[in-house]
Structure 1
Amino acid sequence: MEREYMEFDVVVVGAGPAGLAAACRLKQKAAEAGQEISVCVVEKGSEVGAHILSGAVFEPRALNELFPDWKALGAPLNTPVTRDDIYFLKNEQAASKVPNAFVPKTMHNEGNYIISLGNLCRWLAQQAENLGVEVYPGFAAQEVLIDDTNVVRGIITGDMGVNREGQPKDGIYTPGMELRGKYTLFAEGCRGHLGKQLLKRYQLDSEADAQHYGLGIKEIWDVDPAKHQPGLVVHTAGWPLDNDNLGGSFLYHLENNQVVVGLIVDLSYSNPYLSPFDEFQRYKHHPVVAQYLEGGKRVAYGARAICKGGLNSLPKMVFPGGALIGCDLGTLNFAKIKGSHTAMKSGMLAADAVAANLLAGAEGGDVLEAYPQAFKQSWLYEELFQSRNFGAALHKYGALLGGAFNYVEQNWFGGKLPFTLHDTQPDYACLKPAKDAKKITYPKPDGKLSFDKLSSVFLSSTNHEEDQPCHLKLADPSIPVSQNLPLYDEPAQRYCPAGVYEVVAAEGGEKRFQINAQNCVHCKTCDIKDPAQNITWVAPEGSGGPNYPNM
């Protein structure tokens, strides 16, 4: 098909912290040199920030480098951290507070801020546009443009106005456009569907450990002003999870009498009956958490997978014509539970390499070797190196012993023990057969602290054009019922935090696998955790998905 096209020096896929930091840096470098670099950022959300979800305690290190005057420019960093409380939850009632002296250095948050990452990205997009970047929200990057010499030359946005059968709708069909670039930076976030294709095509992860993931589920609450402590950071480990099904929680006090609360469930969990959503709902009833939420009102809900493999799981960063940045690459520092500053720095490092080439007159299409070289010399590499053993230690030794190992490594040895732990088993391969697992009975939601999935998805403002091709692709439609159901009681019914997947009884009693794609919040858990690796998430029609106001 002949498509319309636009040409840029650099195309950036994704308006998250990595993509926007890269775009801003490119324009800054061009201005310093008195030259012009044309930059386009394409974003699948209805607006910048609509698909952004993070805790988030934000470390401003990369922002200080990108915009040293960010305070004067009005960056939405309004709530400095005032205190860290860390608890080990023993059961549904009891907890032990971890003495400050035994808290790993990576969990200290002095100098950091509690923020809405969505609002920070909106602000970064404003800075980018002020610098001359073209930002296009509502357009999903659907394909990678690759020429006959195996060089990435940009992306193709998804067609608009296509019906469920893949046929153009009368009067409203608009074919996707080619956005051509001398270089293309992929910043789609964790488990980006184009990044996943690039990893396979260019064998970028052939020498890396398996990537590991967590599912983060988050709510925003308006709370009683008497219970609100702006700047308080609360983290917990332990209940409702355990050594075979790891995870941890966060509760942060923002400004305006708001609290954000969430649970991160390690997607290496083994019990197929586990439901991350329901674990989160019952977690909120623990006295450590409930004391802040009781009497409050839940106002927002969302979920997103995170990359937590760290340095050991990083693939090669570059390929002819482009690079992976941010969580498309996997730069989150899970020992800190922070990835925004690392994502921004990776985008800035890639932008430096691209700018140097373009300003020297390069035509693009080459391999950006300067990017991984600069990464190796950066504080980003040093930070990820010091935390490289954290996830593997938890997987090997459990929450208590793994946490103790991390404390010793970080506080006594500064992250520089002379060995590296590895964890090469992918998360989807960790499930036990249902016959070997203990069934979990979850309490019914009370409508005050705990809620059901559908009312939660409603608060995410998720919407998709219903008459469009399903964006959750099954390689073999028979596998959910013929294989996953007898072996694992089809865990998609439970691992999805939005009620997308159901096993329903058809007429005659036969079981049928139903996909409610309209509910999808784009968390990517199904793409990660399906034990048969039968589900592939692809971008739906542009602007579809959640519409988070300030997550």
Structure 2
Amino acid sequence: MITPQALLEQFGPRESMDYDVVIVGAGPAGLATAIRLKQLAAEKGQEVNVVVLEKGSEPGAHILSGAVMDPRALTELIPDWKEQGAPLLQPVTGDQVLFLSADGAQQTPDWLVPECFHNHGNYVISLGAVTKWLGEQAEALGVEIFPGFTAAEVLYDEQGRVKGVATGHMGLGKDGEPTDNFQLGMDLLGKYTIFAEGARGHLGKQLIAKFQLDAGKDPQSYALGIKELWEVPADKAQPGLVVHTAGWPMDGDTYGGGFLYHLEGNKVTLGYVVGLDYQNPWLSPFEEMQRWKTHPSVRQHIEGGKRLGYGARAITAGGILSLPKLVFPGGALVGCDAGMLNASRIKGSHAAIKSGMLAAEAAFAALAEGRAQDELAAYPAAFEQSWLHAELLRAKNFKQWFKKGNTVGALMTGIEQWLMPKLGMKVPRWTIHRTEADHTRLKPANQCPKIDYPKPDGKLTFDRLSSVFISNTNHEEEQPAHLTLKDASVPVAVNLARYGGPEARYCPAGVYEFVNKDGADQLVINAQNCLHCKTCDIKDPTQNIVWVTPEGSGGPNYAGM
């Protein structure tokens, strides 16, 4: 395989383009950053050149969320979003919080439901549709958006400051050698570079490590969210109903829960979230989601309907105690690249938009002062004074309590987010810290009970491959695999031998499978199935799997999700 340096020597140098601000990721955080920069420039009569790179085929193609959206940040960014046609079409009309047993359910009385689970004033949405609309707003303001281009490499200057990113090469063969269609990547240089890649960002992870942005912080914690979109019979539609469940099928020591939201147009979006700190390597988040749908309290909403879409995505769930330092010389992290999601509310889009706005305001002020590639200290300072910081601070212990078991988690969430507000206390006076990263939590397979999952019926429950098919996932098969191994011997020698090969179960797309060939076990990686959820990069117990960017436009193309 030809090395990156050899490619540059043979085909280089790379072409470059200069901008004031380069933004990696056209999700809510990245687009909010771009829009706010252009708004400020218009207000001040100045010019700011902004480019946004998006690895999906268009803004929204790779976006996956529940989603119930709090419009607070969007209203700050675009006050007339309703008049501008934002696709927030279905207000929440009711909340249900259910605790499930294997054959029953207990609904929490409304007066006992913590404020974090109340959704009055929020909207049931397709976040992909909202993101596409935000992209249109950004382009109308003059933002350049380059869909289908991956940011594959962070570029640094002689002082070690971030000066931009390089896009991935196109036209490499499976062996890593250039084909007749080879095109060298391009350098996009910026006075500031904002990283908005979402949870477990490929470049964000590198920046956190290089600049030690997580020093002194709790390890980041993640969950995997698996989602389906259904069309249901008209007599089952309850537009605006929001249902959250806890309990079955999870055991009392495993973090997880379900969501089911009724959209407009007889659509229902539903899914299951499993904390990636789970201990039993035989657990399959995908199978747990399929089993959860068979519960009477869930199946009554979708039985007789048709499944339209499927997807999966990792979620940052560590909260404010796991937030890294947000800035470094030359740039910043925003949205879920930093970990801004509020796990207690199961919401991140409002946090992504707000963080992008705050970063934009700091970057614009720096540009106006003629500064470049320094630390945008005004961004974390503004964040600490914002309503978003106050919201995350109030939920600081949420995931940590649930790590002590679902009973303790439910009790303490009730105390911190129901009882304490009623007593006039806004923030818990105690702090519960974590010390273990998710990948360290798996127990050896021989210490855990195997889980016998039922076979799918093809009507209510399904297998992984048929699910991936309706995610519209596609990768150019001749490109180098974007799921890489540091050591090819580890999957069999360690993961299979000690943990029973958990990658064959934690991946929601059937990417990893162990096969026996000529009497020897080996791991097969079906990279073309990859949903870009990042679960393998997070949960692999040996941290031997590294997700890198595939060619642009590769991956899912979610519709209505």
TM-score range, shorter chain: over 0.9
Match of 2:154 in 1: 144
For 2:5, the equivalent position in structure 1 comes to none
Aligned-residue sequence identity (percent) comes to 60
Candidates 15, 40, 47, aligned match of 1:29:
40
In 1: Cα distance, 2:216 partner to 2:24 partner:
25
- The one-letter code of the counterpart of 1:33 is K
Match of 2:417 in 1: 410
Q: Which residue of 1 aligns with 2:125?
A: 115
Instruction: Give the aligned partner of residue 108 of structure 2.
Output: 98
Does structure 1 residue 344 correspond to structure 2 residue 359?
no
TM norm structure 1: 0.98
Deviations 1:329-387 (A, max 9, x none): 0000000000000011011000000001112222x110100001001100010000000
Post-superposition CA distance 1:263-306 (Å, at most 9, x none) = 00010111000000000011101000100111000010000000
Q: Within 2, Cα distance between the matches of 1:438 and 1:124?
A: 47
Tell me the equivalent position of 1:174. 183
Matched, 1:489 2:500: yes
- The reply on whether 1:64 has 2:71 as its aligned counterpart is no
Amino acid at match of 1:480: P
**What does 1:154-173 correspond to in 2, within 5 Å?**
154-170=164-180, 172-173=181-182
| 1:85 equivalent in alignment to 2:85 | no
Q: Deviations over 1:386-405 (max 9, x none)?
A: 00010001102x11221111
Is 2:233–2:266's contact at 8 Å kept on the other side of the alignment? yes
Write the letter of the residue equivalent to 2:390.
Answer: E
Aligned Cα root-mean-square deviation (Å): 0.7
Kindly indicate whether residue 441 of structure 2 is the aligned counterpart of residue 430 of structure 1. yes
- Partner SS state of residue 37, structure 1: coil
CA distance in structure 1 between the aligned counterparts of 2:336 and 2:548, rounded to whole angstroms: 17
Question: What residue identity is the alignment partner of 1:401?
Answer: V
Q: Contact 2:254/2:406 (CA < 8 Å) preserved in 1?
A: no
Who is 1:40 aligned against? 51
Partner of 2:3: none
- 1:505 aligned to 2:516? yes
The structure 1 segments of at least 4 consecutive aligned residues displaced by more than 6 Å after TM superposition are: none
Are 1:440 and 2:451 matched, yes or no?
A: yes
Task: Confirm or deny that 1:393 pairs with 2:404.
Answer: no
Q: Residues 505-536 of structure 1, C-alpha deviation per residue, up to 9 Å, x if partnerless?
A: 112x1101110000000000000000001001
Q: Paired residue for 1:312, among 299, 321, 332?
A: 321
Q: 2:275 aligns with which of 262, 266, 283?
A: 266
Q: How far did 1:413 drift?
A: 1.8
- Which secondary structure state, in structure 1, belongs to the residue aligned with residue 178 of structure 2? coil
Quick check: 490-499 or 409-418, which moved more? 409-418
Taking the aligned partners of 1:152 and 1:266, their CA distance within structure 2 comes to: 33
Q: Does 1:544 align with 2:544?
A: no
2:189 partner amino acid: R
1:343-362 → structure 2 map (5 Å cutoff): 343-362=352-371
Please state how far the C-alpha of 1:416 moved relative to its aligned partner: 1.5
- Work out the CA distance in 2 between the residues paired with 1:50 and 1:461: 10
Equivalent AA in structure 2 for residue 369 of structure 1: A
Distance 2:46 2:471 in 1: 42
Q: Which residue of 2 aligns with 1:12?
A: 23
Aligned-partner SS, 1:548: coil
**Per-residue deviation, 1:70:** 0.3
Q: Is the 8 A contact 2:465 2:510 kept in 1?
A: yes
Q: Is there any run of 5+ residues in structure 2 with no aligned partner, and where?
A: 1-7
Which SS does the other structure have where 1:169 is aligned?
Answer: strand
CA distance in 2, matches of 1:537, 1:451: 26
Match of 1:373 in 2: 381
- The AA in structure 1 aligned to 2:168 is G
CA contact (8 A) 2:253 2:406 kept: no
Letter in 2 for 1:467: E
Runs of at least 5 residues in structure 1 that lack an aligned partner in the other structure: none
- Tell me the residue number matched to 2:338: 329
Deviation (angstroms), 1:94: 1.0
User: How far apart, in 2, do the equivalents of 1:424 and 1:137 lie?
Assistant: 38
Q: How many Å apart are 1:550 and its aligned residue? A: 1.9
Distance 1:473 1:205 in 2: 24
User: 1: distance between equivalents of 2:557 and 2:470?
Assistant: 9
CA distance in 2, matches of 1:437, 1:369: 47
CA shift digits 1:106-162 (9 cap, x unpaired): 000000000000000000000000111000100000000111110101100000000
Amino acid at match of 2:221: H
Q: In 1, distance between residues paired with 2:259 and 2:31?
A: 26
